[in-house]
Amino acid sequence: MGAVLPVARRLQLLEWASRHDAWIIEHDYGGEFRYGQRLIDALQSMDTQARVIYVGTFSKALSPQLRLGYLVLPRELVHVFREAKRLTDRHSLRWEQSVLASLIDSGAYERHVRHLRRDNEQRRKALLEAVDQQLRDYGKLVGMAAGLHGVLRLPGLRAEDEAKVQATAL
């Protein structure tokens, strides 16, 4: 589970990276799925010193089998990453990239994400209500403000029983 940094803390982090000639890797895993609040601008969009490497994926909104992701890189790193991909990757299929580009250009991708966000918001509310009604004495569901995952905290669970619970879940 990640966390969203407040704007002031984001600016401090960017200043630190600039001062120390460091890179920040921003992995926006499921960032397009935020519930009950406005979408948060990427740290990369605030970066004026080219210190952020932004990592994104289309698999959460389209299909895990698609396996199409992307990087937004500082200009000076493009050649390094292109060469690393050439040496280590089988590359994405051109037709998949072409279809995705058409979806983005036509606005269909953004409409699809909005539709998914609405559907997921309804499912999220139902899950939160069910957990609250059925499990309120045992645990609490947290980490559900964004993304597609959550964590059920079970404060009364003894450490020695944790392995049994995990084995049962499998």
CATH label of the domain that carries residue 89: 3.40.640.10
Average of per-residue pLDDT across 60-89: 91
Residue 16: both structure tokens together:
């630190």
Average of per-residue pLDDT across 1-26: 90
Q: Are residues 74 and 125 in the same domain?
A: no
Q: Are residues 102 and 21 in the same domain?
A: yes
Residue 6: both structure tokens together:
């407040």
Strand partners, 71: 55
- Tell me which of 71 and 60 has the higher pLDDT: 71
Query: Of the ranges 10-24, 27-41, 86-100, which is most confident?
Result: 10-24
Q: Are residues 160 and 79 in the same domain?
A: no
The answer as to whether 29 is a domain residue is: yes
Name the one residue in this structure whose structure tokens are 């580009």: 101
- pLDDT class for 1, splitting at 50, 70, 90? low
Q: Under a CB-based contact definition with an 8 Å cutoff, are residues 153 and 140 in contact?
A: yes
Q: How many Å separate Cα 138 from the centre of its chain?
A: 28
Q: What angle do CA 67, 70, 73 make, to 5 degrees?
A: 160
Q: Are residues 39 and 67 in the same domain?
A: yes
Q: Are residues 114 and 101 in the same domain?
A: no
The answer as to whether 152 is a domain residue is: yes
**Which pLDDT score, from 0 to 100, does residue 2 have?**
61
Q: Are residues 98 and 149 in the same domain?
A: no
Task: Kindly report the pTM of this predicted structure.
Answer: 0.76
Share of the chain above pLDDT 90, in %: 42
Query: In 3-state terms, what secondary structure has residue 124?
Result: helix
Q: Are residues 55 and 85 in the same domain?
A: yes
Q: How many Å separate Cα 84 from the centre of its chain?
A: 23
**What is d(CA 145, CA 36) in angstroms, rounded to the nearest whole number?**
7
Q: What is the pLDDT of residues 84-93, one digit of tens each?
A: 999 998 778 8
Using the 8-state DSSP alphabet, how is residue 42 labeled? Answer: P
Q: Which of 65, 69, 70, 57 is nearest to 30 (CA)?
A: 57
- Tell me which of 31 and 1 has the higher pLDDT: 31
- What is the domain extent for residue 80? 7-106
